Chains A and B, each alone.
Chain A
Amino acid sequence: MTPLLAQVQEPMNRVELLADDPLWLVLLKVVVILLIGPILTIFLIVWERKAVGRMQNRPGPNRVGPGGYLQSLADAIKLPFKEQVIPDTADRKLYFLAPVIAVVPALIGLAAIPFGPEVSIFGERTVLQLVELPVGVLLVLAGASVGVYGIVLAGWSSGSPYPLLGGLRSAAQVISYEIAMGLAIIGVALYAQSLSTGEIVDAQQGGWFFYLLLPSFVIYMISMVGETNRAPFDLPEAESELVGGFHTEYSSMKFAMFFLAEYVNMVIVSAFATTLFLGGYMFPFVGADSALNQGWLPVIWFFAKTFLLLFGFIWLRGTLPRFRYDQFMKLGWKVLVPVGLIWIVVISAIRAVRNDAEISTGQILVVGGIVIAVIVLLTLLLPEREIPDEDAVPTTGGDYPVPPLDLKVPKTTPRRKALKAKARSSAKEPAAVTPAKEGSDGDV
């Protein structure tokens, strides 16, 4: 009976469907969304260790459970029971608060992500999403920007130099890469003409944004790694430079919470990238009316895309060495931000032209091609950069025995000269001794 009734009802949009959710359904969704983060964290840690192990020709964890896949479960049980070590110099209140601040915003971020289309849960029509806000994209960004307080305060409140350096790095890193990330998202918002996550997914029915807005996608991909402090941008916890970075002084459950926050953040930025650029829960190449995009199936597509991105994180970690800090900042401020700004100008120009006049895509492409050709030709006019003389020898004047700059290296050594003179004098003697002379030559 219920399905029949459901078909009779007129289609409601996402907001209306979510608005009439009963309380038990909202609570159910909250619990599931809060559980997704920790469960995926437990899986991700063991997956990462095994995948990186394979990349380095070693098995990775293989003792606990089938194939070693219960290793991080064992770790999760072990960590809370370890001893808590609190440094004497720590600012105790903030020291306790910091891991909580890191975790809570991370867990909130998933609330705005649409996991699937309209479904029926126990006879109740709803959308697989906790809340649909007109500014859902900003919710995720706000979660990221508050979460970094956890890292910064952890570094500061530990009261020792290495964590402080890690915290400072993290603050600078997140601020710079959030700008690049915001610029990447502006492109998406311009094309979807909305800041709400559900509408952005709906707007990708005509084509996913990762190829329509390729520069935005690339900028987002780079800045999402920077934002989550993952290799090759894991400078706040660079173990070769800062021992453990911001969590050096943390142990036991509090350390586990930082771990949780890092991996939940990875899940959130991946799910967010899926929503913004990879068509959310939609199956590729079919319309929204296809059977593949109805019911509970799209949840599978959503998580497949998310796991693809998460594997990207692991792959990066297994492949790339850590950036130096100044290189990292240079990449953010001198490459990603300017490219993002230029790209926004380009797409807003294209949109303005398309909205105002009847101009076809072909015409835009032709004009764009001409503009690019002119720019390329103009770059030929730029004067070539003068290459500094790399071979210039620095003038020296210390106490060290350095040869003078105008040193003349003689062609032969005095000994050779003497030997040659000897040979010459022996050549003037009778021919009988010639073999001996040859022998002496060979000796030299």
Chain B
Amino acid sequence: MMVPVLAQATAEATVSTGEAIAFWILAPLAVAGALGMIFARNAVHSALWLVVTMLTLGILYLVQQAQFLGFTQIIVYTGAIMMLFLFVLMLAGRDSSDSVVEVLRGQRLAATVLGIGMAGLFAGALTRAFADVTPAAPLDPWSPEGGGAGGLGRIIFSDYLFPFELTSALLITAAMGGMVLSFTSRQGPGGRRSQRELVEARFRGEYERPSPKPGPGVFATANSVATPALLPDGTVAPESLSALIENTSAAQFERQRKEVAGEVPKPDAHALVPPEDTAEEGDRS
């Protein structure tokens, strides 16, 4: 029991007041971010909570005088990786939330086992950290040995070259896999057509018509899509009738029928201009 107390005593000796304040502000924030990430309903909110955790960790590194590491954490994790997460989530859709259907067989069992394993690892590491780890000496970020970019680079390319290369091989494999999975050949079925191929297909008759649908005709009184195009003989071009507002002529007919039956409503008191029909009648009389 003596050892932990001793370790804590030495640790307290090296922790300054400012560092302690920063820790007790940032650490709850980081934990809150992690919890929020788990419990948030919306996928985008979840990702943003994770961003909070990443940012807080970066600032904690800064407080520990590991400035290069801290800023790299912010740039790489917060700036690039989480941004990619967000990108994918946004593409997936605004309201996509967790589905409770088990997609992979035995997924939950594996997750539980691995989760317990991770918890065990964390517990072991934490116990060791409280028991028999001597606190490191404060770093001097201006020297290469003190966590500066030069010192880190030297270590990565000498002592840790093999793990570094392994990581890069893993990343390259992942990138290649992503490319292979998302690749669709232009020639194959479902492949995207180039602009030229599309034009040729249109003229070959694979589509409804080669040109856009006609707009309002020359004699139309408005450029609204509700106004049909007129053919040279004055009749309505059927192609130009929008499927969405195809009932305009029906609506017109209905209005005329009501007018004949004398069911036209009285002019609206709030209307700035009288309805078209009454104005025309006024002209006639």
A171 to B80, CA, bound (A): 9
Give per-residue flags for A260-279: 1 if the beta carbon is below 8 A from chain B beta carbons, else 0.
00000000000000000000
The A/B interface has a contact count, at CB < 8 Å, of: 98
Given A133-B67, A134-B67; A178-B51 close (CB under 8 Å): no
A167 to B75, CA, bound (A): 19
Chain A at the B interface: SS class: helix
| B204 with A195: CB separation less than 8 A | no
| A145 with B80: CB separation less than 8 A | yes
The segment from B85-93, B114-122, B227-235, B276-284 found at the interface with A is B85-93
| A400 with B71: CB separation less than 8 A | no
Q: Does B84 contact A (CB under 8 A)?
A: yes
Q: Does A399 contact B (CB under 8 A)?
A: yes
| B83 with A148: CB separation less than 8 A | yes
| A156 with B90: CB separation less than 8 A | yes
A431 to B58, CA, bound (A): 109
A135 to B74, CA, bound (A): 13
Q: A129-185: which residues lie under 8 A (CB-CB) from chain B?
A: 133-135, 138-139, 141-142, 144-146, 148-149, 152-153, 155-156, 159, 164, 167-168, 171-172, 174-175, 178
B171 to chain A minimum Cβ distance, whole angstroms, is 14
| A138 with B210: CB separation less than 8 A | no
Interface hub of A135, A138, A189, A399 (most chain B Cβ within 10 A): A135
| A167 with B72: CB separation less than 8 A | no
Contact of A400 among B48, B51, B203 (CB under 8 A): B203
The segment from A34-42, A364-372, A389-397 found at the interface with B is A389-397
Given A152-B86, A175-B83; A400-B210 close (CB under 8 Å): yes
The segment from B8-16, B31-39, B141-149 found at the interface with A is B141-149
B42 surroundings in chain A (CB, below 8 A) = 91
| B142 with A178: CB separation less than 8 A | no
Q: Does B205 contact A (CB under 8 A)?
A: yes
Contact of B84 among A15, A148, A175 (CB under 8 A): A175
A142 to B75, CA, bound (A): 5
A395 to B205, CA, bound (A): 11
Q: Does B68 contact A (CB under 8 A)?
A: yes
| B94 with A156: CB separation less than 8 A | yes
| A397 with B80: CB separation less than 8 A | no
| A168 with B90: CB separation less than 8 A | yes
Give per-residue flags for A368-398: 1 if the beta carbon is below 8 A from chain B beta carbons, else 0.
0000000000000000000000000011111
A426 to chain B minimum Cβ distance, whole angstroms, is 42
A159-B94, A168-B90, A397-B204 known, 5 other contacts, Cβ within 8 Å: A94-B45, A138-B72, A141-B75, A156-B86, A394-B200
CB-CB nearest 10 A-B residue pairs: A145-B79, A398-B205, A138-B71, A142-B74, A394-B200, A134-B141, A171-B87, A135-B68, A135-B67, A142-B75
List chain A positions with a Cβ less than 8 A from chain B: 15, 91, 94, 133-135, 138-139, 141-142, 144-146, 148-149, 152-153, 155-156, 159, 164, 167-168, 171-172, 174-175, 178, 189, 195, 394-400, 402
List chain B positions with a Cβ less than 8 A from chain A: 42, 44-45, 48, 51, 55, 58, 67-68, 71-72, 74-75, 78-80, 83-84, 86-87, 90-91, 94, 141-142, 148-149, 199-200, 203-205, 210
